[in-house]
Amino acid sequence: MMRLYNEYRTRRLVLEVWERLEGNGEWQVANSKNPPAVIAHPAADQPPPADFGLYKCGACGKMVMGFDRESHIHEAHKGKTMEWRRVR
Ligand SMILES: [Zn+2]
């Protein structure tokens, strides 16, 4: 008897929450046809694949991996643009 009463009470509380959500519009927002903006462009922030090719710096002759060229330019040549020769 007590269990049945509890089940009834739980159902009643759930219904009350639903009615409240439908009343103030939160329910409609939560079930909107528009998906959340977060998953709109799942691959937009993906970085390009790393370049593991080997390059020779045109200014100092150092061998640098493709993905590391930017930081070499920054650290060794103060951001100056230079030519890279692809070694392999
Ligand atoms: Zn260099």
CA of 46 to the centre of ligand 1 (A): 28
Q: What is the span of the domain harbouring residue 58?
A: 54-87
Please check whether residue 80 lies inside any domain of the structure. Answer: yes
- Residue 65 confidence (pLDDT): 95
- Residue 44 confidence (pLDDT): 66
pLDDT tier at 70 (50, 70, 90 boundaries)? very high
Please check whether residue 44 lies inside any domain of the structure. Answer: no
Q: For the whole model, what pTM was predicted?
A: 0.45
pLDDT tier at 78 (50, 70, 90 boundaries)? very high
Please check whether residue 41 lies inside any domain of the structure. Answer: no
**Torsion angle (degrees, nearest 10) of CA 78, 83, 84, 85:** -150
- Within 8 A by CB and 6+ apart from 67, the residues are 50, 51, 52
CA of 58 to the centre of ligand 1 (A): 7
CA of 44 to the centre of ligand 1 (A): 32
